[in-house]
């Protein structure tokens, strides 16, 4: 008889409080029965970035409401669940702790098994939730806090091919927006300006393309942008709308070129060990960027690789990905006890050496 598993997932590692219910019958395509996300943009917008203490308090206040809404939307009750999955790291520690404590409380009260999930595994396994992509596949994780190339071989088996040594691309988009007086989050506003800008007017550097590996760097782009902005502003006594748009277009073109070229190298590295051309999957908030998506699609079709990107609401932080990653772990026999700890840092590939550098949102895993 095929087994149906129903998992409640909780996510609170950054600035989204989320709960979701995911169900899978045997090996069929999993179903997202509900997915609730409470963002915190308005709480942090006055500060120009996420304030960890404010985020943690908001998570603690909203998690139970989120769980109730996710259960209501799914039409289920706690007694219909098989386990509760929770992000146990990496992330802002106060927020991760809020989620882990909430999940422990529900587990203690109901007797439901508790499954700790690595937030990055949640993103990395999303293509299996949405498109049933088979292992192994090549993953590009690009978000506000992370940027890495991974070979996904199993729910807890990842090989990191490379990643950012400083800022994540989303962080670079956010800083660019801040420097140009555009609204946060910066990704969508910079993309919108770039669409009416000339990408050739300002020539941005393409960091680390002179190195053959899959490591990346984005912090220099922000410095370059600041210099160009100040130069134009000094010459013309301020920036016009077109100047801003051209700066955004030049910046975005540099990010697209770097990600496209490093993806080419990651596919080649993958092929050195795996005979079959991979599916390349992208996830994380920056995967919403249409110019980046189309650059990745082009390089994949040149190299004969399939390309897949989850729908936007499952690319950005959500709890359906945590419920699904928990489901995979639970199905494989994994379970955690009341000693589950919240981890600020938790690399997916424990064997790969730490990448130097630390961005604004903390140490890079």
- Helical packing angle, 241-273 and 290-303, nearest 10°: 30
Q: Which is nearer to ligand KG4, 113 or 169 (CB)?
A: 169
Contact between 316 and ligand KG4 by CB under 6 A: the answer reads yes
- Are the beta carbons of 350 and 332 closer than 8 angstroms? no
Question: CB under 6 A: which stretch of 76-84, 211-219, 284-292, 321-329 binds ligand KG4?
Answer: 284-292
- For every residue of 75-120, DSSP letters joined together read T--GGG-SEEEEEEESS-HHHHHHHHHHHHHHHHHH---EEEEEHH
Terminal C-alpha separation, the chain: 40
Task: Enter the tokens of residue 326.
Answer: 């928990």
SS3 339: coil
Contact between 39 and ligand KG4 by CB under 6 A: the answer reads no
H/E element, 8: strand 4-11
Q: Which is nearer to ligand KG4, 152 or 168 (CB)?
A: 168
Closest distance between ligand KG4 and the C-beta of residue 16, in Å?
Answer: 7
- Are the beta carbons of 322 and 122 closer than 8 angstroms? yes
Judged by CB under 6 A, which of 70, 124, 254, 288 binds ligand KG4? 288
Q: Show contacts with ligand KG4 in window 183-202 (CB under 6 A).
A: 185-188, 191
Task: Enter the tokens of residue 281.
Answer: 């999957």
170 binds, among Zn ion, ligand KG4, none (CB under 5 to 8 A by kind): ligand KG4
188 binds, among Zn ion, ligand KG4, none (CB under 5 to 8 A by kind): ligand KG4
Judged by CB under 6 A, which of 286, 299, 314, 320 binds ligand KG4? 286
Q: Which is nearer to ligand KG4, 260 or 289 (CB)?
A: 289
> What's the alpha-carbon Rg for the chain, to the nearest Å?
21
Contact between 170 and ligand KG4 by CB under 6 A: the answer reads yes
How deeply is 310 buried, as exposed, middle or buried, from its count of CB atoms within 10 A (0-12, 13-18, 19+)?
buried
Task: Enter the tokens of residue 184.
Answer: 């946060």
Closest CA to 11 of 98, 81, 74, 79: 98
Q: Which is nearer to ligand KG4, 277 or 298 (CB)?
A: 298
Q: What is the CB-side half-sphere exposure of residue 265 using CA atoms within 13 A? A: 19
289 binds, among ligand KG4, Zn ion, none (CB under 5 to 8 A by kind): ligand KG4
Structure letter (DSSP) for residue 47: G
90 binds, among ligand KG4, Zn ion, none (CB under 5 to 8 A by kind): none
Q: Which is nearer to Zn ion, 71 or 287 (CB)?
A: 287
197 binds, among ligand KG4, Zn ion, none (CB under 5 to 8 A by kind): none
Question: CB under 6 A: which stretch of 126-134, 140-148, 153-161, 271-279 binds ligand KG4?
Answer: 140-148
Contact between 310 and ligand KG4 by CB under 6 A: the answer reads no
Interface residues with ligand KG4 (CB under 6 A) are 14, 143-145, 170, 173-174, 185-188, 191, 284-286, 288-289, 316-317
């Amino acid at each position: 008889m095929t087994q149906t598993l129903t998992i409640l997932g909780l996510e609170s590692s950054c600035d989204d409080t989320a709960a979701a219910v995911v169900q899978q019958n045997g090996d069929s395509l999993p179903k997202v029965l509900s997915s609730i996300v409470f963002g915190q943009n308005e709480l942090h917008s006055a500060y120009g970035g996420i304030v960890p203490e404010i985020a943690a308090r908001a998570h603690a206040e909203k998690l139970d409401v989120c769980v109730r809404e996710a259960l209501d939307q799914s039409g289920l009750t706690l007694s219909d669940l098989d386990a509760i999955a929770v992000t146990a790291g990496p992330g802002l520690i106060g927020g991760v702790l809020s989620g882990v404590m909430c999940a422990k409380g529900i587990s203690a009260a109901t007797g439901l098994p508790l499954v700790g999930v690595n937030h990055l595994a949640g993103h990395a396994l999303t293509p299996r939730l949405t498109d049933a992509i088979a292992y192994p596949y090549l993953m590009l994780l690009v978000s506000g806090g992370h940027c890495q190339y991974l070979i996904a071989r199993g729910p807890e088996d990842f090989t990191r091919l490379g990643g950012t040594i400083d800022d994540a691309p989303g962080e670079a988009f956010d800083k660019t927006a801040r420097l140009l007086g555009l609204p946060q989050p910066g990704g969508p506003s910079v993309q919108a300006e770039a669409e009416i800008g000339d990408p050739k007017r300002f020539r941005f550097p393409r960091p680390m393309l002179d190195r053959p590996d899959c490591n990346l760097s984005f912090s220099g782009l922000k410095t370059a942008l600041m210099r160009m902005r100040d130069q134009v502003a000094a010459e013309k006594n301020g920036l016009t709308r077109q100047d801003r748009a051209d700066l955004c277009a030049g910046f975005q073109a540099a990010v697209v070129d770097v990600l496209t070229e490093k993806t080419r190298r990651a596919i080649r590295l993958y092929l050195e060990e795996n005979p079959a051309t991979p599916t390349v999957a992208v996830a994380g908030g920056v995967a919403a960027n249409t110019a980046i998506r189309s650059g990745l699609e082009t390089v994949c079709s040149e190299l004969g690789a399939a390309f897949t990107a989850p729908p936007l609401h499952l690319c950005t932080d959500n709890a359906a990905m945590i419920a699904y990653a928990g489901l995979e772990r639970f199905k494989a026999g994994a379970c955690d006890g009341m000693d589950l700890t919240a981890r600020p840092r938790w690399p997916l590939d424990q064997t790969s050496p730490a990448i130097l550098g630390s961005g604004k949102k903390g140490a890079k895993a």
